[in-house]
Structure 1
Amino acid sequence: MVLRGDIAIQDSSTLKASRFNVRVADGEHLRLYNSYTGKISKFTGGEAEIVDELLKVRELDVVESQDEIRSGLIQHLQNKGFLVKNRVNEFQLATAQKYNMLAENRMLQLIILPNEDCNFRCTYCYEDFLKSEMKESVQQGILNFLERNVKNYSRLLISWFGGEPLKSFDVIKRMSAPIKEICAKYNVQYHANITTNGYLLNSETFEELLDMNVRSFQITLDGTAETHDSYRVGRFGEKTFDTIFSNLLKMKQSDKPFNVVLRSNINQEVSTVMDNYISLVSSAFVEDPRFMLHFVPIQNLKGEQTADIHLCDTKMLFPFYEKAKEKGFNFDLYKQYLRPGGSECYASSPSSCVIGSDGMIYKCTVAFNNPMNHVGDILENGDMVIDQEKWSLWVTGGVNEDASCTKCFFRPSCQGNACPLERIETGATPCPPVKKSIKKYITLVNEDYAYEPSV
């Protein structure tokens, strides 16, 4: 069992600042983040100055005579992992944390592609739409696999992906009922989410999905109708924004529990309308905490399109975050990336795989045409035939061999696995976007602890 919570205090050792700390001065406040615990503490005024001073001491004697304020701050800093015993090997702790989390995580994730075709033709899309609806033999193979294996896990997460998964809504319906039955039979928690363009997500489909345990939705709006309809075009050239927005408003009328991540893929053109977009979605959704915003820079995943699409850098996104916060949106969604293991890619997990409509097994959803991503096949009897050599490239990472990773302050969060694809293709160290703008993300989310002296 892995126990989480405050760090045990032992007075027999001098202390030092953790190597996993990040300090952010924010006006009169000081924010401290630690990637090993994944927590943020906020200090104010004179206490912030004392904390700054304490973290600069190379060997802090905890039994040294101190005033009450200073003593309380030291206790808090040690409890929350910002101060650690001087003799501790923190990188060894981070390695152990990785193994502990692997042992503790008994969740199986299957990313299933009911249809690899799509009703959109987005200008920046990396998929080629050569395959279509999932074969019945593949559907049966997945059910047989779960019948034999799901009992080895405590949780099952099904992620419906595509193409456009709702293009084959019948497949989702046909599979969901037996999946729920199998999980109930073996007392396994069942959760499901869906990544959809939202065009086919009418009220009836939405209610049916909720009944099938699909409670999390990722839906994309690329700015206002003006930009969205130029990038996220229907297969036959039709505009799509108004239909999606209407579907979202109807979802809001439900009193059932669910959450929607409204994703915006942003380039230089979309950035020019983001103020208007934020005002629009604020007026519609800011008072409903089930709706969250997520901004992503458009990536060049399909090289020949570079001349047509002007990419943007992650740093360009923060003015939009600030405007959305002013409107009342909360971005604690991003706290998950700051937690231990939170910036590891799903493809690095030995308990996660992608199943294509023809039964091909992948690790990654953005490299379907890369032969190194074709790691196996699922058979109708439920057997998974895996190429262990390819599989190992995705799940082993390089955190203990990569010098950049072993000394990195963000190691506990990404463990060298931010993007296994990048490491496989280039041999380079894959650093997550959150690390590159870490101080901005620490300021963006709410703190876990606002320090108050004990009375």
Structure 2
Amino acid sequence: MGRRFQASMFNVVVDEQENGMYLYNSYKGLDSIKEVAPAAREKVKDYLSGRKVDESDDPILNELIENRFMVPELYDERADREQLFYEYTMEDTLDITVHTTDACNFRCKYCALDFKTNVISKDVQDRIIKLIARNVNKYSRVHIDWFGGEPLIGIDAIEYISEKVIDICRKAKKPYTGSITTNGYLLTKENVEKLIKSRVANYTITVDGLKETHDNQRIYMDGGPTWDRIIGNLEGIRDNVKNRYISVVIRGNFTKEMLKDLPEFYNLLNDKFGKDPRFSFFVRPAGDWGGERVKLIADHLMPYSQMAEVYNYLAENQKDLKCIINLYNIHTCGAMCRSNKKNRYVITSYGKVQKCETCRPEHEIGEISKDGRLDTDKHLEAVWTVGFRRNKREQCDECPLSCSCLWGNCPKIGVLNPKDKNCGYITEYKELIKLAAKTYDVETLGAEA
């Protein structure tokens, strides 16, 4: 007797009727997405309905098996999922986020910062350098993500630490990379040259819509506008930076006001940056990330569910400027927070060590000693890396998306509030799958049917 097959527990079927049918499998991630040929749709739905199927020479069945939409009967897919979790969390990159300062030159209406003025001291900088020097040979590579406050207020620290770490990694024959999240106001030609010399290759800059909306949401500390300066700096990178290996992500934190301007905003960004493949677009709803300021605009915040409108618009109006970062959520392990990783740490401007980028005192797990040792509470590290999974929701085990988030979309929820059983993952995954299909011009399953 031949083998029997059943539908994978990680399948998602997006059936848009006249607008197409798409298949996705979270174990295989973004590469799994297939459009189903119209003539094959009924047969595909039958095969994936839950019944057991004997192997045959049916080309549609064999395509489903080849792409893991069908797996052998009694196949233990949960074991594969556990393997993914351990591979992701134990990945051997030393991944550090450094907050160069708590200070910021903006007063964004949704910001959770309390606008302290501390800038990372020379002592803390040297501790970070010693930490990397002591441990570089334990890892395959080193990555530093520069964060804040506004990290470019601490550009001198970025230069100093980077120069030392680049030399350490060169001698150890380990790759070193850097990235930065900045409001873009200080991203001048001079500072970009310094960052590129410091091996900072990935840049994330927030632009909240058209000029009027952005200048109302992302205000300079003296109350002035910021849009023109940021756009000018981005145009400067486009026109003057010849390095082909950098990437620039333009992020929009969407409020209700931005939603109505989406077509004009996207077209403007596409006209300015769409022909440069180094640029991409990243959309998120502005959220209540803590603090008092956001309460003043609570009525202007939009629920995450409204992002479906954004994704649908971008899917149907895709131009040169792509939303690559949003699609990470449907990569295998792509929706897991980096805080899950054993070798990932956040270092505050005070030298404290955390796992979460929000830099709250309750997230601290230790500090860096003067001789560069990670003096951390191993129990707290374990809680962030694996302990939060004990608090998974009942529906998580059967969820077809579980190879994307592996219950680690936001471990902070499970760590600080174990009784919170709300799913932290996106609800608009079907719209993201369709956006991915339009972005990458995916293969058609059953084309020969």
TM-score (norm 1): 0.90
Task: Give deviations 1:151-185, integer Å, cap 9, x for gaps.
Answer: 11112111000011101111111111111111111
Q: Distance in 1 between matches of 2:249 and 2:424?
A: 20
Q: Distance in 2 between matches of 1:167 and 1:173?
A: 12
Alpha-carbon deviation of 1:454? 7.3
* Aligned position for 2:178: 192
Among 303, 316, 323, the alignment partner of 1:331 is: 323
* CA RMSD between the two structures: 2.1
Question: How do 1:170-185 residues align onto structure 2 when only pairs under 5 Å count?
Answer: 170-185=156-171
Q: Is the 8 A contact 1:314 1:433 kept in 2?
A: no
* Aligned position for 1:90: 77
Q: Is the 8 A contact 1:155 1:189 kept in 2?
A: yes
Q: Which runs of 5+ in 2 are unaligned?
A: none
Alpha-carbon deviation of 1:273? 2.9
Residue 168 of structure 1 aligns to a residue whose secondary structure is helix
Task: Give deviations 1:242-267, integer Å, cap 9, x for gaps.
Answer: 00000001111123121111111111
Q: Distance in 2 between matches of 1:452 and 1:209?
A: 48
* Aligned position for 2:367: 377
Q: Distance in 1 between matches of 2:19 and 2:253?
A: 34
Q: Distance in 2 between matches of 1:131 and 1:346?
A: 27
TM-score (norm 2): 0.91
* Aligned position for 1:420: 411
* Aligned position for 1:114: 100
Q: Between the two proteins, what is the percent identity of the paired residues?
A: 29
1:260 matched to 2:254? The reply is: no
For the structure 1 residues 101 and 237, does the alpha-carbon distance in structure 2 shift closer, same or farther, using more than 3 Å as the test?
closer
Q: Which structure's relative contact order is higher, taking Cα pairs within 8 Å and 6+ residues apart?
A: 2
Paired residue type of 2:295 = T
Residues matched between the structures, number: 435
Among 392, 395, 398, the alignment partner of 2:385 is: 395
Q: Distance in 2 between matches of 1:28 and 1:121?
A: 43
For the structure 1 residues 385 and 22, does the alpha-carbon distance in structure 2 shift closer, same or farther, using more than 3 Å as the test?
same
Q: Is the 8 A contact 1:397 1:416 kept in 2?
A: no
1:289 matched to 2:277? The reply is: yes
Alpha-carbon deviation of 1:294? 1.1
Paired residue type of 2:196 = L
1:279 matched to 2:272? The reply is: no
Alpha-carbon deviation of 1:57? 5.2
Alpha-carbon deviation of 1:398? 4.2
Q: Distance in 2 between matches of 1:57 and 1:170?
A: 60
* Aligned position for 2:297: 308
For the structure 1 residues 133 and 160, does the alpha-carbon distance in structure 2 shift closer, same or farther, using more than 3 Å as the test?
same
For the structure 1 residues 121 and 347, does the alpha-carbon distance in structure 2 shift closer, same or farther, using more than 3 Å as the test?
same
Q: Is the 8 A contact 2:39 2:446 kept in 1?
A: no
Q: Distance in 2 between matches of 1:212 and 1:303?
A: 33
* Aligned position for 2:257: 269
Alpha-carbon deviation of 1:36? 1.0
Residue 248 of structure 2 aligns to a residue whose secondary structure is strand
1:62 matched to 2:38? The reply is: no
Q: Is the 8 A contact 2:391 2:414 kept in 1?
A: no
Alpha-carbon deviation of 1:400? 5.9
Task: Give deviations 1:110-157, integer Å, cap 9, x for gaps.
Answer: 000111111111111111122511111111111111111121111211
Q: Is the 8 A contact 2:112 2:291 kept in 1?
A: no
Q: Is the 8 A contact 2:141 2:176 kept in 1?
A: yes
Paired residue type of 1:74 = L
Alpha-carbon deviation of 1:12? 4.8
* Aligned position for 2:37: 44
Q: Distance in 2 between matches of 1:247 and 1:192?
A: 20
Alpha-carbon deviation of 1:369? 2.8
